[in-house]
């Protein structure tokens, strides 16, 4: 069966520090991968998506970047965190349209 792993679950980082959040998928190949951010009491904002290794599409210009070094690995990064980067980050995967999306358990990032 397919599973998605996302870590860490919580993270407290100082302003100006780097960030690396990792997401891996098991049990499937060539998934579409997504990074979302959810602010408190708000909906999900799509940050990046990838349809293949090395292919990254950015939805919102910001202080973050994403990479897909392997087929089932998706990484969210920042060189210097801002206070506004705080939020709940969710990774998700899908095999295509009409098939729904499977989400990881999320990372709560607090920038102090």
Partner 1 sequence: SQQGEEDPQALSIQEGENATMNCSYKTSINNLQWYRQNSGRGLVHLILIRSNEREKHSGRLRVTLDTSKKSSSLLITASRAADTASYFCATEGGSYIPTFGRGTSLIVHP
- 28, 95 Cβ separation under 8 angstroms: yes
**Minimum distance of partner 1 from residue 85's CB (angstroms):** 18
**Residue 73 near partner 1 by CB under 8 A:** no
By beta-carbon proximity to partner 1, the closer residue of 13 and 102 is 102
Distance CA 31, CA 10 (A): 25
**Residue 7 near partner 1 by CB under 8 A:** no
Please, which residues bridge with residue 82 across strands?
Answer: none
**Residue 16 near partner 1 by CB under 8 A:** no
**Minimum distance of partner 1 from residue 16's CB (angstroms):** 27
Distance CA 102, CA 6 (A): 12
**Residue 106 near partner 1 by CB under 8 A:** yes
**Minimum distance of partner 1 from residue 79's CB (angstroms):** 26
Distance CA 99, CA 93 (A): 10
């Amino acid at each position: 069966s397919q599973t998605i792993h996302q870590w860490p679950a919580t993270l407290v980082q100082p302003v100006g520090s780097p960030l690396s959040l990792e997401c891996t998928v098991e049990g499937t190949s060539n998934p579409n991968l997504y990074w979302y951010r959810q602010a408190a009491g708000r909906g999900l904002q799509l940050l990046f998506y990838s349809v293949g290794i090395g292919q990254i599409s950015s939805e919102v210009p910001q202080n973050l970047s994403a990479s897909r070094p392997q087929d089932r690995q998706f990484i969210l990064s920042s060189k210097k965190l801002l206070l506004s980067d705080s939020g709940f980050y969710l990774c998700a995967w899908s095999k295509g349209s009409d098939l729904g999306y499977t989400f990881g358990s999320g990372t709560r990032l607090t920038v102090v």
